[in-house]
Structure 1
Amino acid sequence: MPDQAMPSLSLGSELDFNNGDATYIKILDAGLAQFTEFGLRRTTMEDVASKAGVGRATAYRRFGDKHQLIQAVILRECQYQLGLIEAHLKTLDSPRDALLEAFVLAVTRAHVHPLLQRLLSSEPEDILPLLTLQWSRVIALFRVQLASQIRRAEEAGHVKVHDADQLAELMLRLMQSLVLSPDGLMNPADEASIRDMADRYLRPWLG
């Protein structure tokens, strides 16, 4: 593979999930399992603590309340999925293709993610505010990361854009819309349609 800088989607140090704290990770794992199986409303901190094999007080020491745990579980899943996408991007030769592939994979994998689909189908009134009104910090964080990689690709002469920050946010907002409103001609359940859309409409934005 040519020695070219591939886009990195790492969230960096802004999201620290205390990987050295085994108990913290056990609680996150238990939270993911409980929220996926039973949803947000039916899951209590006591349920998560029991699933993790820790005491209730221990769970509350790591996470102040269930809302904090929900946010941490979702953010960690975002980080994990982006890591998988990044590993795939390293197999591609073209930084331009890698940026487009990142978009396609982010949309299609989010669409089939068990936790997200569980919550969108059974508790949309709870999850939608979190993924829209309260999602500004995550959007801003992802925008900084994506814009940085667009600039790197531009500096290497692989793409040419007018404003990397605006393009990054536009791509993220489009991802968000496709995932939260999947019905239509651009259906994230149809990877071919998302890939075709990215090639037709996003590729020209990359110059």
Structure 2
Amino acid sequence: MTTDTPLALADEDRILDAALGLFADVGVRRATIGDVAKRAGVDRVTVYRRVGSKDEVVGSVIIREAGRLFDEVLSAANRESSLAGRITVGFAETIERIRSHAMLNRMIELEPDTVFVSLSRDAGPILVAAVSVVERIFEGARADGLLDSVDGLTPVAEAFVRIAHSFVLTPSAAAAAGTHRELVDFASAALVPLLPPEPSRA
């Protein structure tokens, strides 16, 4: 467990930065706590104390990277002036940012089986976090007068996340989804009809 002191947080960030770079260079399986410690400029005890075991280091890296991605997606979505725009742009930005993530692409190259397990069977916590991001988009839309209520929209948020998740796992199928425009068009056709109507501004 980490503490909330500035020194502890600085150590944790340095360790996670080091682990992120190491995983991109050699993959998760070949990386050791000793390797992470050496790259971070700390000893092994500090890694265990500040972050934990190798599995906990991996989990913390994934959670931090997902958090950064979600913040970027939320920021891009909230620049749109309509609820439909926020959802379609959020969907497209999510897929594109995951596809272009350097560490993820490198890990797919080095350890495709490990990545598949992380993104499928073990993806529950990340999907829960992603659902909360969609709910934040809904909350922001309500605050901006684009929704009357967010009641009952959690299943809709989860449906959006599960559809996006399928695009990550299987990039190509019947729908064209190679460009930002194609992703937005898909979301407009498949996701927007699930949204409640925006309030009348008359």
Residues 1-207 of structure 1: pairs in structure 2 closer than 5 A? 20=6, 21-150=9-138, 153=141, 158-159=146-147, 163-186=152-175, 188-207=177-196
Which aligned segments of 4 or more residues in structure 1 are displaced greater than 4 angstroms?
16-19, 154-157, 159-162
CA–CA distance in structure 1, aligned partners of residues 72 and 163 of structure 2: 21
Is the deviation greater in 159-168 or in 112-121? Answer: 159-168
CA–CA distance in structure 1, aligned partners of residues 186 and 178 of structure 2: 13
Change in CA separation of 1:142 and 1:132 when aligned onto 2, cut-off 3 Å: same
CA–CA distance in structure 2, aligned partners of residues 27 and 165 of structure 1: 35
RMSD: 2.6
CA offset at residue 184 of structure 1? 2.4
Larger of the two Rg values belongs to structure: 2
Q: Read off the aligned partner of 1:194 and give its amino acid letter.
A: L
Change in CA separation of 1:62 and 1:186 when aligned onto 2, cut-off 3 Å: farther
Change in CA separation of 1:204 and 1:120 when aligned onto 2, cut-off 3 Å: same
CA–CA distance in structure 2, aligned partners of residues 19 and 74 of structure 1: 22
Change in CA separation of 1:167 and 1:70 when aligned onto 2, cut-off 3 Å: same
CA–CA distance in structure 2, aligned partners of residues 157 and 190 of structure 1: 31
The two structures have a TM-score, normalised by structure 1, of: 0.81
Q: Read off the aligned partner of 1:103 and give its amino acid letter.
A: F
Aligned to 1:6: none
Change in CA separation of 1:198 and 1:17 when aligned onto 2, cut-off 3 Å: farther
CA–CA distance in structure 1, aligned partners of residues 192 and 81 of structure 2: 16
CA offset at residue 30 of structure 1? 0.4
Change in CA separation of 1:69 and 1:19 when aligned onto 2, cut-off 3 Å: farther
How many residue pairs are counted as aligned between the two chains? 192
CA offset at residue 90 of structure 1? 3.9
Q: Read off the aligned partner of 2:124 and give its amino acid letter.
A: S
Q: 1:148-171: CA deviations, max 9, x gaps?
A: 532553576525789411111111
CA–CA distance in structure 1, aligned partners of residues 22 and 111 of structure 2: 14
Identity %: 27
- Residues 45 and 65 of structure 1 are in contact (CA less than 8 Å); yes or no, is this contact kept in structure 2? yes
CA–CA distance in structure 2, aligned partners of residues 52 and 81 of structure 1: 23
- Residues 85 and 106 of structure 1 are in contact (CA less than 8 Å); yes or no, is this contact kept in structure 2? yes
Q: Which structure ranks higher in relative contact order (CA pairs < 8 Å, sequence separation ≥ 6)?
A: 1
CA offset at residue 130 of structure 1? 2.0
